[in-house]
Amino acid sequence: MCKIVIVGGGAGGLELATKLGDKLGRSKKAHVTLVDKNRTHLWKPLLHEVAAGSMDDGIDALSYRAHAKNHGFNFKLGALANIDRDNKLIQLAELVDEDGTQILPESQLSYDILVMALGSISNDFNTKGVREHCIFLDSPQQAKKFHHRMLNKYLQLGVQETKQVSVAIVGAGATGVELSAELFNSLKQVSSYGFEHISSADLKVSLVEAGEKILPALPERISGSAHQELSKLGVDVRTKTMVTEATEQGLLTKDGELIKADLIVWAAGIKAPDFMKDIAGLETNRSNQLVVKSTLQTSLDDCIYALGDCASCALPEGGFVPPRAQSAHQMASLVAKNIIASINKKPLSDYKYTDYGSLVSLSNYSTVGSLMGNLMKGSMMIEGRLARLVYISLYRMHQIALHGYMRTGLITLVESINRVLRPRLKLH
């Protein structure tokens, strides 16, 4: 029986494990195993809502073990340490708890087909002081860390001469822009839960971008619209501002200015995890991504696939597939198709990236973006309720890929009920 191992339970990895478990695992045509160092899955584009407290990850996170049981695959808790390509083994590191006590020893897992879907981590570009003084919004743990610190700052308002909470966000891509807006939405909510003394004047958010505009990957019209909305909320948007150092007091810029901040979030770029650099002799790029062929097999080993943020996939017209959730979703579908084809001794298909546009949510205030497709020539700019509806539908599509239409409908119903029964903001 073919042994398929998928490392990484992000959007692409979990969707792939679900597809292969349903199609091959249930019928005993293959043994499918998902490996992840976390016990639960949370859709990464929602981490800014966890950080602001708008989403409770304890309710919305998905248990890997429970999902594996329902979809015909196995789950293994562990972190990848190395790959032994000669013997087709992956090595998993020792797993320890917060106190350093061993939970699981080092172990090995054999494979016939290996899929790398490790996602990405924040790239600090070796900027001085960033690792020591910034929070990276690239995992649920980091998002929760920010949320707890933010709640503590609200508690200190009016005490110990604390008159204002200042947050600096470096990087005005989707994560930075969405977090900026979500913080003002959570401020409105927190004031109704025993924090009556807090007002919008008590929060200062600085969004710092080195480039010419915010949302640099999007058209000028959309970027300008988002910039205008953020300014209305009170966000201090700073473009053409290069950060050279992070300190306890805030951010130092290339011009010698100090942008004071109680909390600093670094969202200025991504890369694959550092241990991926030249792992097992595989070809990687400067961002530690695995270089893949058009079939999404790695360039030096046809038994190893890579998808999502950890894959460097060239586009026929030049450039590379962007690190987006839609890319991971499309890649997962192709890798599932190719793995099934290879088991059945059939030819593999090439990956063709389709750009459906980009959407950025400014919390409850607005949503802006562009849609691309066969119904229009080029792109169409959308804003407001229509854009918000399409934005929410992206998450629903991910849930449908995992649960199917019926269960996703029930999940949506439960979420609607929870909005009535539960606080609108996570307060712990």
Tokens of 71: 């979809």
pLDDT of residue 386: 66
Classify strands 250-253 and 290-291 as parallel, antiparallel or unpaired: unpaired
For residues 284 and 278, the answer to whether their CB atoms sit within 8 Å is yes
- Alpha-carbon span 174 to 403, nearest angstrom: 27
For residues 33 and 4, the answer to whether their CB atoms sit within 8 Å is yes
Q: Where are the domains of the chain?
A: 2-120+272-343, 124-266, 357-421
Q: HEC states along 296-364? A: CEECCEEEEEECHHHEECECCCCCECCCCHHHHHHHHHHHHHHHHHHHCCCCCCCCCCCCCEEEEEECC
Classify strands 366-372 and 250-253 as parallel, antiparallel or unpaired: unpaired
Q: Which CATH number fits domain 124-266: 3.40.50.850, 3.40.50.1980, 3.40.1190.20, 3.50.50.60?
A: 3.50.50.60
- Alpha-carbon span 107 to 5, nearest angstrom: 14
The size of the chain, in residues, is 428
For residues 56 and 29, the answer to whether their CB atoms sit within 8 Å is no
Question: Exposed e or buried b for every residue in 382-405, given b needs 16+ CB within 10 A?
Answer: bbeeebbebbeebeeebbbbbbee
Tokens of 328: 């991971």
In terms of C-beta distances under 8 Å and separation of at least 24 residues, what long-range contacts does 368-374 make, across chains too? 368/222, 368/225, 368/226, 368/229, 369/218, 369/222, 370/218, 370/219, 370/222
DSSP per-residue letters across 74-140: EEEE--EEEEETTTTEEEEPPEE-TTS-EEE--EEEE-SEEEE----EE--TT-BTHHHH-EE-SSH
For residues 78 and 35, the answer to whether their CB atoms sit within 8 Å is yes
Tokens of 193: 């839960």
Closest to 72 measured CA to CA, from 115, 132, 32: 32
Closest to 364 measured CA to CA, from 384, 337, 381, 340: 384
pLDDT of residue 385: 66
Query: Would you give the distance in Å from CA 412 to the centre of its chain?
Result: 21
pLDDT of residue 324: 87
- Alpha-carbon span 25 to 19, nearest angstrom: 9
- Alpha-carbon span 257 to 247, nearest angstrom: 12
Question: Could you list the pLDDT tens digit for every one of the 428 residues in the chain?
Answer: 999 999 999 999 999 999 999 999 999 999 999 999 999 999 998 899 999 988 888 888 999 999 999 999 999 999 999 999 999 999 999 988 888 888 889 999 999 999 999 999 999 999 999 999 999 999 999 999 999 999 888 888 866 666 789 999 999 999 999 999 999 988 888 777 777 778 888 899 999 999 999 998 788 888 998 899 999 999 999 999 999 999 999 999 999 999 999 999 999 999 999 999 989 999 999 999 999 999 999 999 999 999 999 999 999 888 999 998 889 999 999 999 999 999 999 999 999 998 877 778 787 777 766 665 443 445 556 666 666 677 788 888 899 999 999 999 999 898 888 877 777 677 66
Fold matches, 2-120+272-343 and 124-266: yes
pLDDT of residue 374: 40
pLDDT of residue 375: 38
The percent helix, strand, coil of the chain (3-state, each to 5) is: 35, 25, 35
For residues 202 and 165, the answer to whether their CB atoms sit within 8 Å is yes
Q: Phi, psi (5° rounding) for residue 282?
A: -75, 155
CATH code, 2-120+272-343: 3.50.50.60
Distances (CA, A) of 81 to 78, 105, 190, 217, 389: 9, 12, 42, 33, 41
